[in-house]
Amino acid sequence: MRDDSTGLSLPLGHLPGTRYPDANITVLDKRFRRQGNAAIERVATGFRWAEGPVYFRDLGCLVWSDIPNNRMMRWLEDDGHVSVFRAPSNYSNGNTRDRQGRLITCEHDMRRVTRTELDGRVIVLIDRFDGKRLNAPNDVVVASDGAIWFTDPGYGIDGEYEGHKAEFELPANVYRLDLRTGTAQAVAGDFVRPNGLAFSPDERRLYIVDSGATHGGPAHIRCFDVSGTRLRGGRVFAEDFAPGMTDGVRVDMEGNVWCSMGWGDPAEDGVRCYAPDGTLIGKVHLPETCANLCFGGRKRNRLFMAASTSIYALYLDMEGAMVP
Ligand code: MG
Tens of pLDDT, residues 211-264: 999 999 999 999 999 999 999 999 999 999 999 999 999 999 999 999 999 999
pLDDT value at 8 more than 60: no
Q: Within 10 A of 274 (CB to CB), how many other CB atoms are there?
A: 25
How remote is the CA of residue 3 from the centroid of ligand 1, in Å? Answer: 47
How remote is the CA of residue 13 from the centroid of ligand 1, in Å? Answer: 40
How remote is the CA of residue 201 from the centroid of ligand 1, in Å? Answer: 21
Tens of pLDDT, residues 147-181: 999 999 999 999 999 999 999 999 999 999 999 99
Q: Provide φ and ψ at 117, rounded to 5°.
A: -70, 165
How remote is the CA of residue 17 from the centroid of ligand 1, in Å? Answer: 33
How remote is the CA of residue 136 from the centroid of ligand 1, in Å? Answer: 11
How remote is the CA of residue 56 from the centroid of ligand 1, in Å? Answer: 20
Per-residue model confidence (pLDDT) at position 5: 45
How remote is the CA of residue 161 from the centroid of ligand 1, in Å? Answer: 15
Q: How far is the CA of 293 from the CAs of 92, 156, 234, 258, in angstroms?
A: 16, 20, 23, 8
How remote is the CA of residue 106 from the centroid of ligand 1, in Å? Answer: 10
pLDDT value at 4 more than 60: no
pLDDT value at 9 more than 60: no
Q: Where does the pLDDT of residue 12 fall: very low under 50, low under 70, confident under 90, or very high at 90 and above? A: low
What's the CA gap between 262 and 309, in Å, rounded? 13
Q: Could you tell me which residue, 14 or 36, shows the higher pLDDT?
A: 36
Mean pLDDT of 25-33: 97
Omega before 21 within 30 of 0, i.e. cis:
yes
DSSP-derived letter for residue 157 is G
Q: Within 10 A of 18 (CB to CB), how many other CB atoms are there?
A: 13
3-state helix, strand, coil in the chain (%, to 5): 5, 45, 50
Tens of pLDDT, residues 280-301: 999 999 999 999 999 999 999 9
Per-residue model confidence (pLDDT) at position 309: 97
How remote is the CA of residue 276 from the centroid of ligand 1, in Å? Answer: 21
Per-residue model confidence (pLDDT) at position 19: 86
How remote is the CA of residue 293 from the centroid of ligand 1, in Å? Answer: 10
Q: Where does the pLDDT of residue 145 fall: very low under 50, low under 70, confident under 90, or very high at 90 and above? A: very high
Q: How long a stretch of residues is the chain?
A: 324
Q: Bridge-partner residues for 194, per DSSP? A: 210
How remote is the CA of residue 175 from the centroid of ligand 1, in Å? Answer: 15
How remote is the CA of residue 222 from the centroid of ligand 1, in Å? Answer: 15
- 149 CB-near residues (< 8 Å, 6+ apart): 140, 141, 142, 143, 174, 175, 176, 177, 187, 197, 206
How remote is the CA of residue 324 from the centroid of ligand 1, in Å? Answer: 15
Minimal CA–CA distance to 127: which of 116, 115, 119, 118?
Answer: 115
Is there a contact between 38 and 301 (Cβ–Cβ < 8 Å)? no
How remote is the CA of residue 138 from the centroid of ligand 1, in Å? Answer: 5
How remote is the CA of residue 59 from the centroid of ligand 1, in Å? Answer: 24
Residue 156, helix vs strand vs coil: helix
How remote is the CA of residue 153 from the centroid of ligand 1, in Å? Answer: 9
The C-alpha torsion from 56 through 59 and 61 to 62, rounded to 10°, is: -20
How remote is the CA of residue 263 from the centroid of ligand 1, in Å? Answer: 13
What structural domains does the chain harbor?
A: 13-315 (2.120.10.30)
Per-residue model confidence (pLDDT) at position 116: 98
Tens of pLDDT, residues 49-102: 999 999 999 999 999 999 999 999 999 999 999 999 999 999 999 999 999 999
Q: What is the pTM of this model?
A: 0.94
Residue 194, helix vs strand vs coil: strand
Residue 215, helix vs strand vs coil: helix
Most distant CA atoms of the chain, gap in Å: 74
Question: Can you say how many angstroms the Cα of residue 140 is from the centroid of all Cα atoms in its chain?
Answer: 9
How remote is the CA of residue 101 from the centroid of ligand 1, in Å? Answer: 21
How remote is the CA of residue 246 from the centroid of ligand 1, in Å? Answer: 9
How remote is the CA of residue 194 from the centroid of ligand 1, in Å? Answer: 9
Tens of pLDDT, residues 88-121: 999 999 999 999 999 999 999 999 999 999 999 9
Is there a contact between 27 and 285 (Cβ–Cβ < 8 Å)? no
Is there a contact between 31 and 293 (Cβ–Cβ < 8 Å)? no
Minimal CA–CA distance to 302: which of 252, 249, 248, 247?
Answer: 252
pLDDT value at 322 more than 90: no
Mean pLDDT of 131-138: 98
